[in-house]
Structure 1
Amino acid sequence: MLSSSIIESALDQVKPNARLYIAYSGGVDSHVLLHLCASIAGLGDKMTAVYVHHGLQAEAGVWAEHCRKTAEALGIQFRALRVNAVAGPGESPEEAARNARYNALRALIGANDVLLVAQHREDQLETVLLQLFRGSGLRGLSGMPECMAFGRGVMLRPLLNVSRQAIRHYAESHALSWVEDPSNLHNDYDRNYLRNTVVPLIKQRWPACDKTVARSARHCAEAQAVLSVIADDLFHAVFNEADKTLSISRLKQLNKHRQQLVIRHWFQTLGLKMPAQGFVERILTQVVAASRESHPVLSGQGHNIRRYRDKLYCLKHAPKATLQDIDWPAGQVSLKLTDDQYLLCQPSSAGIARERWRRARVVVRFRLGGEKILLPGREGHHVLKNLFQEAGIPPWERQGMPLVYLDDQLAAVGDKWISAEFYSEETDACVRLYRKSQE
């Protein structure tokens, strides 16, 4: 029989010492979770029920009020979060709503906080089936974990091994009042189609399929845990922490299957979705296997996969630098180059003499080709193209490298080089340039 002990057992895993947040939609599953939590002595002051208002249903405002009254009646604090769940390019309505909901909840969870969500065994069955139909690997077929890092805290799914029938029985036996979302009946959504049409048919033949599929998911999760340890060792032998790149020569020493494992681990480390099998294969055949002289580009998830010399890069799509001159206003310590790139001027004991910087008209320009610079301690003027090659700066970074002119004379190349004609060493009397990305 379903009781609060299942919540207490889940909380014992993490021993929370901050706040407990319960994701509460007003539906039967989350209402049962809320009711179970409310029956645990000593948790009342620590708990907050959170309703995420997507604004996608006309009744959403009424549901939010219902949730508030229900939480207050149980002596639990309540909070509503309004989100924009409009689907973006290439995003399904289901995915947009889910992403908006989890992003809002993630921002709420602080250090040592716990988020409780009401997903149950049939939800796990649907998740595994969806992943299976999408051709997912072990990670996808592992389904949803009972406990995982979330925000700065932890997410728990204490009802994950509980059946929908047991939850419904609990709600009815305690005379709970919940809301029914009419969109759950729309079979346009993949999960709803599974829930309303496919799973009932499967259960006619295999009534215990939710239990057996959940068991298979746990087997996959255990295998994935072992594989992750192997992948981590392989990955760190290839990964360059400083610039988040992979060593192509070391990657090529691995067999095909291990290369694919490392690529997926790389995407995970970068916080990206797991790439499709075909995309992983294209990375290996079209980029990794390309000659050193070629510069292939693969695009996906708002990033470009590139290679330069012995490194494999995964880079965010960057806006092209303007070719127009940018005046640097006197007294201003930073200059915006693009939407996410800035050039900073900071005090230094070696660099451009501060007084010369203050008196000059400072202009930032971008490469047109053929620019030269005289470097301190080196003879003759050097073509920038040769300096970039010598320093191993990838070709795609060169065009956007800011060139800083003082009174129409090239004084600095980004934060890489300062012209000998402007270079000075004098304690606390110089300035130096630094490039910064706006995260």
Structure 2
Amino acid sequence: MPDLNSQVIAALLPVTCRKVFVAYSGGLDSTVLLDLCVGLPSLTGKIIAVYVDHGLQAESVGWGDHCRRQAESLGVDFQLLTVDARASNGESPEAAAREARYRALRQLLAVDDVILLAQHREDQMETLLLQLFRGAGVSGLAGMPITSAFGNGQLLRPLLDVAKVDIQRYAQTQGLQWVEDPSNQSSDFDRNYLRNEILPVLKQRWPALDKTVARSAKLCGDAAQMIEAWAKQTLPTVFDSTDGSFNIADLSILTATQMNCLLRHWLGRMGLKPPSQAVLQTLVEQLTTGRADALPQINIQGHSIRKYRQKLYCIPELSLQKDAQIKCWAPEQEQMRLSNGYVLRRSAASAGLSKDLWQNALVTVAPRRGGEKLKLPGRAGHHCLKKLYQEAGVPPWERDIRPLVYLGGCLAAVAGLWVAEWAWLRAADACYQLDWRASESV
């Protein structure tokens, strides 16, 4: 490979690049990355060096000061971010620090912004081996991508195919100054143990190990892309965008491998991390087989996976909690937030609840208590809500949390579904429509 130079950066930068954030820890790798960026005239005035202080080491403040001075000497802007990187129960310190760092960096980027990370070929090798030891599949063994979407912008790893020795040679040739993190010498962390204890032995036997492992990561990445493309094409055939459910009515044409793949992508679309093979096996055994009228459920990652009428639903556990309070709806209030994260909105409509009745009555919102009946417009007789819910295919867990709206103490509407005949009206600009849905934060 030719000598390391700024073209490794230029080759990846999008033409429309606005700001270039460089994740700058002050260490060797990120110091070289920042220097390479400064060597590109096209980036003059666009570079912002970003130091993330995890607050885990006493030296971190001093490292931040070093980064600030170095950025100033290079004539680039500097930004310091402070994050809470403490690990929660069951979370590794490494994962907690990484997640906190990425979360903070992600918020910096606007459209057409990029952030550069200094991971190199040996980092890629370590990532793939760690994933292998954890039993990862093809996506995990693909390691880190060179480019990926990140917040509103893009994340680039321009040094990912560069050997560590080339980075060291560049730093020495350019006379760069960097800080050494003493925690890198501790083998308490998995990555450090691999780097300090295992890889030196392996590289004695296989000197080009970083290059060959990186090649395997690239091949796994190609395979992962093909799987991703298939899943994106196939998932819409079983995914219902109106309620986010997964249709299992006819999955006989899918192999077990394809089924697992689609379930992973569905759960990812619903905001969950990729589940383990054991969790997937449980999902398949308990939720996609068995009696059609069974109502099994599995709780993972703060969500409840449930089955109803040959469809799977992924529901945040918070939203399953019943808001038991009776609330008054003020006349000027257009929306009401419920304690379980749902939002009830009122909007003008040409058919629905009579505005006149609404404005001249005490409006209250209450949970279902059982035994409520409703007479629907154009339909004879009063009907129990239980029967109406069954007819409409409303999942059982939703029946207790969907709010009821009363005008003057009389049941007038089931939010988002029905309006009682006595409160119903069809007239331009004389009605209200009620919409009930989970807020974006749930």
Q: How does the TM-score come out when normalised to structure 1?
A: 0.95
C-alpha distance after superposition, 1:5-27 (max 9, x if no partner):
2222222xx33431111111111
What residue is the counterpart of 1:325 in the other structure?
Answer: 326
> Which residue identity lines up with residue 23 of structure 2 in the other structure?
A
Q: Does 1:143 align with 2:143?
A: yes
What residue is the counterpart of 1:3 in the other structure?
Answer: 5
> Which residue identity lines up with residue 104 of structure 1 in the other structure?
A
Unaligned runs of 5+ in 2: none
What residue is the counterpart of 2:308 in the other structure?
Answer: 308
What residue is the counterpart of 1:99 in the other structure?
Answer: 99
What residue is the counterpart of 1:251 in the other structure?
Answer: 251
What residue is the counterpart of 1:25 in the other structure?
Answer: 25
Instruction: Give how far 1:276 is off.
Output: 0.7
> Which residue identity lines up with residue 391 of structure 1 in the other structure?
A
Instruction: Give how far 1:347 is off.
Output: 2.2
Instruction: Give how far 1:185 is off.
Output: 2.5
C-alpha distance after superposition, 1:119-177 (max 9, x if no partner):
00110011001100111111111111111111122111111111112212221222211
Q: Aligned with 2:437: secondary structure? A: strand
Please tell me whether the aligned partners of residues 322 and 340 of structure 2 are also in contact (alpha carbons under 8 angstroms).
no
Please tell me whether the aligned partners of residues 354 and 430 of structure 2 are also in contact (alpha carbons under 8 angstroms).
yes
Q: Aligned with 2:286: secondary structure? A: helix
What residue is the counterpart of 1:400 in the other structure?
Answer: 401
C-alpha distance after superposition, 1:226-277 (max 9, x if no partner):
2223333332322222222221023343121111121122233334321111
What residue is the counterpart of 1:207 in the other structure?
Answer: 207
Identity %: 47
Please tell me whether the aligned partners of residues 318 and 340 of structure 2 are also in contact (alpha carbons under 8 angstroms).
no
C-alpha distance after superposition, 1:19-57 (max 9, x if no partner):
111111111100000011111123121111111122222
What residue is the counterpart of 2:228 in the other structure?
Answer: 228
Q: Does 1:357 align with 2:362?
A: no
> Which residue identity lines up with residue 231 of structure 1 in the other structure?
A
C-alpha change, 1:291 and 1:216, in structure 2 (3 Å) is: same
Q: Aligned with 1:130: secondary structure? A: helix
RMSD across aligned positions (CA): 1.6
What residue is the counterpart of 1:74 in the other structure?
Answer: 74
Instruction: Give how far 1:215 is off.
Output: 0.8
Instruction: Give how far 1:80 is off.
Output: 1.3
Please tell me whether the aligned partners of residues 9 and 37 of structure 2 are also in contact (alpha carbons under 8 angstroms).
yes
Q: Aligned with 1:318: secondary structure? A: helix
Instruction: Give how far 1:90 is off.
Output: 2.9
Unaligned runs of 5+ in 1: none
C-alpha change, 1:346 and 1:233, in structure 2 (3 Å) is: closer
C-alpha distance after superposition, 1:48-78 (max 9, x if no partner):
1111122222222221121111111111111
Give the paired residue count. 437
Please tell me whether the aligned partners of residues 333 and 344 of structure 1 are also in contact (alpha carbons under 8 angstroms).
yes
C-alpha change, 1:55 and 1:225, in structure 2 (3 Å) is: same
> Which residue identity lines up with residue 29 of structure 2 in the other structure?
D
Instruction: Give how far 1:429 is off.
Output: 2.1
Please tell me whether the aligned partners of residues 321 and 337 of structure 1 are also in contact (alpha carbons under 8 angstroms).
no
Return the alpha-carbon distance in structure 2 between the equivalents of residues 233 and 42 of structure 1: 39
Instruction: Give how far 1:402 is off.
Output: 0.5
C-alpha change, 1:388 and 1:278, in structure 2 (3 Å) is: same
Return the alpha-carbon distance in structure 1 between the equivalents of residues 215 and 178 of structure 2: 30
Return the alpha-carbon distance in structure 2 between the equivalents of residues 370 and 294 of structure 1: 24
Q: Does 1:275 align with 2:270?
A: no
Q: Aligned with 2:125: secondary structure? A: helix
Q: Aligned with 1:266: secondary structure? A: helix
C-alpha change, 1:108 and 1:237, in structure 2 (3 Å) is: same
Instruction: Give how far 1:289 is off.
Output: 0.7
Instruction: Give how far 1:339 is off.
Output: 4.5
C-alpha distance after superposition, 1:255-312 (max 9, x if no partner):
2111112112223333432111111111111111132211111111222211111211
Please tell me whether the aligned partners of residues 323 and 340 of structure 2 are also in contact (alpha carbons under 8 angstroms).
no
Q: Aligned with 1:251: secondary structure? A: coil
Q: Aligned with 2:18: secondary structure? A: coil
Return the alpha-carbon distance in structure 2 between the equivalents of residues 89 and 83 of structure 1: 18
Please tell me whether the aligned partners of residues 355 and 431 of structure 2 are also in contact (alpha carbons under 8 angstroms).
yes
> Which residue identity lines up with residue 70 of structure 1 in the other structure?
Q
Return the alpha-carbon distance in structure 2 between the equivalents of residues 244 and 186 of structure 1: 45
